[in-house]
Amino acid sequence: MKSWGLALLVLVLIQKQGIFKQVEAADGFVKTSGLHFVLNGLPYHANGFNAYWLMYMASDPSQRSKVSSAFSEAASHGLTIARTWAFSDGGYRPLQYSAGSYNEQVFQGLDFVISEAGKYGIKLVLSLANNYENFGGKKQYVDWGRSQGQYLTSDDDFFRNSVVKGFYKNHIKTVLTRRNSITGVVYKDDPTIMAWELMNEPRCTSDPSGRTIQAWITEMASYLKSIDGNHLLEAGLEGFYGQASQQKQRYNPNFQVGTDFIENNQIPGIDFATVHSYPDQWFSSSSDEAQLSFLNDWLNNHIKDAQNVLRKPLLFTEFGKSSKTSGYSTYQRDMVFKTVYSAIYSSARSGGAAVGGLFWQLLTEGMDSFRDGYEIVLSESPSTANVISQESHKLYVLRRMYARLRNIQKWKRARAIRRAQWLNRNKGKNTGN
């Protein structure tokens, strides 16, 4: 209890000074050990955010200050993980003009994002493709396949066609082997990157059995890991239970997307599980109370499955509450955040599988065209910003507790070694009175 009290006292002093000290966030690669993330030998629990727009904005040097501002504001609220896009396929200001043809200016924008994140002690989760048409998505890959003479009848052929899969594998290799023009570090060797994500919310509704997605994740996870053995990998799943987990489908919203939380996350090479949470979309006609009740069950069921079935860490990679919903209030949004954070902290404190949450989405001032209803501008949202900071502080204290316990264990081991050495040196001598 004394160590907890000391940690809380230190935290209060830090908060009063308007500073939130980062805890080794910029050091080393994040790894997994059983149910936990581990950084520099310590369990790593972290609070974070989504900001899909970082590369896009940084590709215009005149707008890079917004990236820096976002990281600065995030760090001051204790946020140490950011999830963002490492894709933009076709269309306006793309990363990939066409299959295998890249835009150096946009790549330099991603270089800046990674470099800047490192300065602020923020780890990155980089997503490599999109299920949806925004920023190209699987549809763009399929269109590229058609332009190469492939007979493709569905956007879901992204997961099946060997030529299209080859385009995607080339993107994986191109991104992972990119040498940062600012830091000089190859992406696959950069510990600022915490994890790769195969795809944002992969869905294959044309095959509700789940076999197509299962095969695709298996193939792509193996390929990515053959290039990069340093970083963690996750699939980008929303957390829906599929036909392989029929007894759990009652926990779903009432639709199927061809994925399965259990089976997909058991694939070798997938290091941790992910869940997205949008009851305001899934149950838009239900009351706030009903949505929160579903959310609470959704969170806890996935924590239990990650802990007892998958035996892997669980990161809640998207959640939020839209201001565009009928009857919206900041209080309702804060309750969603508190519900998610409470489930995460309760699990983390007891040694469970939940390792953190990333809200959707962080903006900084002067980005009105990016507002989607879910945006959090910390300077404009004091109550929500306070909820976010409190969760960051709790996880900070938890991490410092683990650090102190490790130091105590080291001291005890050192003392035992010194005593054994002393006894060995004095064996046979009369050391009594």
DSSP string, 181-223: TTT--BGGG-TTEEEEES-BS---TT-TTSHHHHHHHHHHHHH
Which member of 116, 318, 375, 391 is catalytic?
Answer: 318
CA angle 83, 86, 91 (to 5 degrees): 125
Which member of 201, 234, 238, 375 is catalytic?
Answer: 201
Strand pairing report for 314-319 and 273-277: parallel
Q: Which of 322, 358, 328, 320 is nearest to 49 (CA)?
A: 358
229 is written with which tokens?
Answer: 């053995």
Residue 375 is a catalytic residue: no
Compute the distance between CA of residue 140 and CA of residue 166 in angstroms, rounded to an integer: 14
Question: Is the CA virtual torsion 340, 121, 228, 224 positive or negative?
Answer: positive
* Secondary structure element (H or E) that encloses residue 96, with its range: strand 96-98
Residue 73 is a catalytic residue: no
Strand pairing report for 36-39 and 42-43: antiparallel
pTM: 0.89
* Secondary structure element (H or E) that encloses residue 376, with its range: strand 376-377
In tens digits, the chain (433 residues) has pLDDT values of: 333 343 443 343 334 333 444 434 457 999 999 999 999 988 999 999 999 999 999 999 999 999 999 999 999 999 999 999 999 999 999 999 999 999 999 999 999 999 999 999 999 999 999 999 999 999 999 999 999 999 999 999 999 999 999 999 999 999 999 999 999 999 999 999 999 999 999 999 999 999 999 999 999 999 999 999 999 999 999 999 999 888 899 899 988 899 999 999 999 999 999 999 999 999 999 999 999 999 999 999 999 999 999 999 999 999 999 999 888 999 999 999 999 999 999 999 999 999 999 999 999 999 999 999 999 999 999 999 999 999 999 999 998 888 777 666 656 666 667 777 777 777 766 554 4
